[in-house]
Structures are given as C-alpha cells and as structure tokens.
Amino acid sequence: MRRTMSASRLLKIVVLGLALASAAMAAQTPAQIGKDIGNKVICLCGCQTSLNDCPMPHCDEKAAERHLISMDLAEGKAEPVILQDLVNKYGERVLAAPPAHGFNLTAWFLPGVGLLIGLFLAITIVRRWHRPAVQAAATPAVPLDGNLRSAVENEMKKYID
C-alpha cells in the first residue's frame, strides 16, 4: 500500500518536473541563447574546451566566434540558425558534439545499441544459467546422515567465528 503511494507520487513529481523544465526552456533572452550556444560550440584556439570555458585571455579565436554570435543575436536570429552560421564559417568541428545526421549518427547510436546488446546478453546469460538449476537445487548430491552433518557443522564452527 505504502509502496504504491510512493510510486504514484514519484510519477506525479516526475511529470511535474518535466513540464516545468520544458516551460523553462521555452522563454529565453538573447543573452541566454548566447550562453547556450557558447556551450554547444568549442573555441578553436586549440584549448579544446567549449567557447564559454576557454581559459585563454585575449583569445582571438574566442573573440571572433563571440563576435559572430553577437552579430547574429543582434539580427534576432534563432539558435539553430546561428549554429548553422558558425558551421558554415568554421566547419563541423566547431560543434562540441557531432550533429545527428549522416555518418555522425553512429556516434549517437552506437552507445545505445551497445547498451541494448549488453542487456540482451545479460538476460540471455541469466536465463541460460537459470534453467538447469531447478533439479540441481532440489536434490542434494550426498545424503546428509547424522555423522556427516555433525562433522560438517563442527568444522564450520571451527572456521567461522
């Protein structure tokens, strides 16, 4: 009873959380969009970090990318358009994660496929192990007569405190 209560409550909370999260995503100021983009592209100065995280001071690459983003933002362009502009200028490597199309799809799908294959394997192994176990557990191989049982129990007491 208590279990079902907590489960339904959990579900409610999850649904609510999702709703709120998506609501929060909807309304964004240009500054926020700029920041989001800064996390989605990398700085090309060689630091290999995202544009927001580039630790170099006076980084020309960073300044150039930021400039392009702020120009686009000033024109009121949306996030996908700005990202496309960046890709047009610098190539796909500017994106912090490969876009999900073409060959790059494999980057995104392989971990999931691996997860599923692993799950399938794990379930197969569990089932294969499981089946013949029934008889094995049911019939002890040695009849446990009194002497043997006490010998075993004595030895157990000796070893295990």
- Candidates 93, 101, 105, 146; binder of another protein (CB under 8 A) is 93
Q: Does 89 bind another protein (CB under 8 A)?
A: no
- Candidates 27, 76, 101, 111; binder of another protein (CB under 8 A) is 111
58 and 8 in contact (C-beta within 8 Å)?
A: no
Residue 142's contacts (CB-CB under 8 Å, 6 or more residues apart) are 148
Q: How far is the CB of 66 from another protein (least distance, A)?
A: 12
> In Å, how far are 19, 138, 151, 153, 159 from 145, measured between CA atoms?
66, 17, 10, 12, 21
Q: How far is the CB of 128 from another protein (least distance, A)?
A: 9
Q: Which two tokens stand for residue 31?
A: 């500054």
Q: Does 155 bind another protein (CB under 8 A)?
A: yes
Q: How far is the CB of 71 from another protein (least distance, A)?
A: 19
Q: Tell me the residue type at 68.
A: L
Residue 85's contacts (CB-CB under 8 Å, 6 or more residues apart) are 68, 72, 77
Q: Does 74 bind another protein (CB under 8 A)?
A: no
Q: Which two tokens stand for residue 147?
A: 């002497």
Q: Which is nearer to another protein, 23 or 76 (CB)?
A: 23
Q: Does 4 bind another protein (CB under 8 A)?
A: no
Q: Does 57 bind another protein (CB under 8 A)?
A: yes
Q: Does 16 bind another protein (CB under 8 A)?
A: yes
